[in-house]
Amino acid sequence: MRSEPRLIDHLREPPQLSLRFIAVWLRNLRVWRKLMLPSILGNFGEPLLYLLALGYGLGQFVGEVEDMRYMVFLASGIVCSAAMTGATFEALYSAYTRLTMQQTWAAMLAAPMNVDDVVLGEIAWAATKALINASAIVLVAALLGLVSGPEAILVLPVILLAGLAFAGIAMIVTAISPSYDFFLYYFTLVMTPMLLLSGVFFPLTSLPDAVQIGAQFLPLAHVVMMVRPLMTGGTIDAPILHLGVVIGYIVATYWISAALARRRLIK
């Protein structure tokens, strides 16, 4: 009798890439269009409040940070955090609902589609949600005069890559989660520390050396290091390194999440 494949066996097998994931992306887009307004308000409202409340309120006490107004410094960080939040919530709660409660994944797998297609489609859609959320914040920042010039448009492809990375991390959690409550571990142990230690609200240079070194392993820190110069007219230091880390997360998390999803769904 053939034994059930172990996780290590799934990890050894690379994901099967195909364009079939686009069908999953389109399906989620059509559903989102029906709930577009409340979805945008929910995902866009919180980062906007952070920007306005902290930027105007705390900014009166902080003054300048890294030779720029705190409001300008914060805007680029909020763009990155909005991307992380948008991708994470979509790849956690929405994807898990489709996986378990609605059994949407099971219906997709009845079509000529495999688990790798579904996982990639979910990750791509979550990255799209990250891009939508972050684009709205960039637009507001531009209207408030917090963007230095047209080069800020280059933030959008960076945010799309960041969304793929954050969605891949969240998809790993979704693939192993027994319930919605399990997500609290991810928020408490991973997402919140990453938000606080990646240069979103204050410079990394203000942290102890050991923490600065640890932050180099966080994808959000590298996204902030690329987005902030693009929005403020600065120069990106070591762009190849930052892009390499983000792309590395994209590849690794998709590979792992696809393997975990295969182990969960293929009996």
Q: What is the pLDDT of residues 176-185, one digit of tens each?
A: 999 999 999 9
- Domain range for 60 is 18-265
Amino acid found at 243: L
Task: Name the pLDDT band for 144 (thresholds 50, 70, 90).
Answer: confident
Average the pLDDT over 11-37 and give the result.
89
Q: How many domains does the structure of the chain reveal?
A: 1
Q: Is the pTM of this model over 0.85?
A: yes
User: Tens of pLDDT along 102-115?
Assistant: 999 999 998 889 99
Q: Give, for 65, the enclosing helix (H) or strand (E).
A: strand 64-65
- Whether 84 is covered by a domain: the verdict is yes
- Whether 138 is covered by a domain: the verdict is yes
Token pair belonging to 161 = 């890559």
- Whether 12 is covered by a domain: the verdict is no
Angle at 84 between CA 79 and CA 86, to 5 degrees: 90
- Whether 8 is covered by a domain: the verdict is no
- Whether the CB-CB separation of 256 and 11 falls below 8 Å is answered with yes
- Whether 245 is covered by a domain: the verdict is yes
- Whether 205 is covered by a domain: the verdict is yes
DSSP SS3 for 36: helix
- Whether 22 is covered by a domain: the verdict is yes
- Whether 7 is covered by a domain: the verdict is no
